Amino acid sequence: MGQVVQEAEPVFSGAHEGLCLCTSRLLFPLWELPVFVARGTSDVTSESGVVTCRLSVGALQVIENKIRSLEKFLRSRRNQRRGLYGCVAGLGDVTGSILYGTGSDLGNGDRSMVRNLFGAYSRNVESSAGATSNKRQRLPYSPAELAAMEVRAMECIRQLLLRSGEALFLLQLLSQHHVARLVQGFDANLLQALVQLTFHQLVCSEEGDRIATMLISALMEYYTGPDGRGTVDDISGRLREGCPSYFKESDYKFFLAVECLERAAVTSDLVEKENIAREAFNFLSKVPESADLRTVCKRFEDLRFYEAVVRLPLQKAQALDPAGDAFNDQIDEAIREHAIAQREKCYEIITSALRSLRGESLQMEFGSPVRPAAMRTSA
């Protein structure tokens, strides 16, 4: 009777296995840990409860330093083109083309290098397989495909480490500004979601992104509000350096505009007020799709800067529906209805401002004749 041939499985290099082990040891204690906790009460909405970060700033910094050191090591290997991961990922494309030797931007030297690496990889795989079975197995993957899988996996781990380091930096920054103070304006549902948020969700999920955005907005409001403690540049520089994936350039421009609107609201000189409002409008015009128009346009309306009240919603409508699906009756009805709904939300801001103006004009129209008559009567 012949020996049963086991199904062949990919065998990755020791570097890959070691990286996985080291990464898991760093992230496992945090991965499913809720990052925030309500201290003093089991009810997060209770006034006696205080929302804080579960780990201290010192502990977060220690973990961040270790994670960033590992990511920095991988990045240096890639930049110096050392090892399989460094040589392949350092070419700037881990989507598959260079891994199979078909990339158009590969020089002859690079092609030879990659083939040599894959050849060595193939010999390692075959030797490890031969040690466990005398039968010649039909491998489900070619050596190049196995190498491609390993390089992609290692690059994904590097990206995970980078994102995790940024999340830890953000948690430290929030803790330094007292989380309880930042979340005072959150409703009960958002507070509940906050204390249930795990580190895994903060790093990898859309819900984590949404909550992080809300927390950053609260932090920026702390700096840009009427009793603000600084300027946008004071805090945005730290955010862009420490956690750029959570604080993008569009966020920076939006908060610069908010800061301008705060300044315009307390400026008495009409010319300067209009200039500052226009500066805010110029910032928002660069990122219309990311602006909370209902809030922002109300501020422009209070400043009597109606150019922004009209143009920003129109710009956002165009950004949300660049293909003009709302006007195309040849496409799927659901897609068209969605595009129409998005545009209507933007247009509603303009019509609301017009109704507000109409109400003011009617009040002035019917109120102005009364005042002189009353004055004449009293006289």
Please write the tens of the pLDDT for every residue from 32-44: 999 998 876 655 5
Q: Give the amino acid at 300.
A: F
Q: Percent helix, strand and coil across the chain, each rounded to 5?
A: 70, 5, 25
CA 84/CA 157 separation, integer angstroms? 15
Q: How confident is the model at residue 353 (pLDDT cuts 50, 70, 90)?
A: confident
Would residue 344 count as lying in a domain?
yes
Q: What is the pLDDT of residue 76?
A: 85
Distance between CA atoms of 243 and 368, rounded to whole angstroms? 56
Flag whether 47 is in a domain. yes
199 domain-assigned? yes
DSSP states along 130-170: HHH-SS----SS-HHHHHHHHHHHHHHHHHHHHHHHHHHHH
In a domain, 242, yes or no: no
Q: What is the mean pLDDT of the chain?
A: 77
Mean pLDDT of 366-378: 44
CA distances from 15 to 89, 239, 246, 267 (A): 15, 33, 30, 61
Q: Are residues 79 and 191 in the same domain?
A: yes
Last residue of a domain, one of 211, 230, 249: 230
Q: Which amino acid makes up residue 294? A: R
- Tell me phi and psi for residue 370, to 5 degrees: -75, -40
In this structure, are 85 and 173 located in the same domain? yes
pLDDT at 181: 85
Confidence of residue 140 (pLDDT cuts 50, 70, 90): low
Q: Tens digit of pLDDT for each residue in 265-316?
A: 888 888 998 998 999 889 888 887 777 788 888 888 888 888 989 998 998 9
What are the tens digits of pLDDT across the range 313-331?
Answer: 998 999 888 988 888 888 8
Quick one: pLDDT band at residue 205, thresholds 50, 70, 90? Answer: very high
Q: What's the pLDDT score for residue 122?
A: 46
User: Averaged over 91-118, what is the pLDDT?
Assistant: 43
Tell me how many domains the chain contains.
2
Domain range for 316: 282-362
Does residue 48 sit within a domain?
yes
On whether both 51 and 182 belong to a single domain, the answer is yes
Q: Is 171 part of a structural domain of the chain?
A: yes
CATH code for the domain in which residue 74 is found: 1.20.58.1780
On whether residue 248 sits in a domain, the answer given is no
Residue with tokens 């520089």: 237
Q: Are residues 215 and 320 in the same domain?
A: no
Helical axes 108-132 vs 143-176, angle rounded to 10°: 100
More confident residue, 156 or 227: 156
Q: Determine contact, residues 143/119, Cβ cutoff 8 Å.
A: yes
State percent of the chain over pLDDT 70.
70
Question: What pLDDT is stored for residue 113 in this prediction?
Answer: 43
Is 35 or 107 the better-scoring residue by pLDDT? 35
Does residue 77 fall inside a structural domain?
yes
Q: What is the pLDDT of residue 88?
A: 61
Give the pair of three-digit tokens for residue 373: 């008559």
> Which position has the higher pLDDT, 185 or 171?
171
> Is it the case that residue 111 has pLDDT exceeding 50?
no
Residue 45: its pLDDT value, please? 54
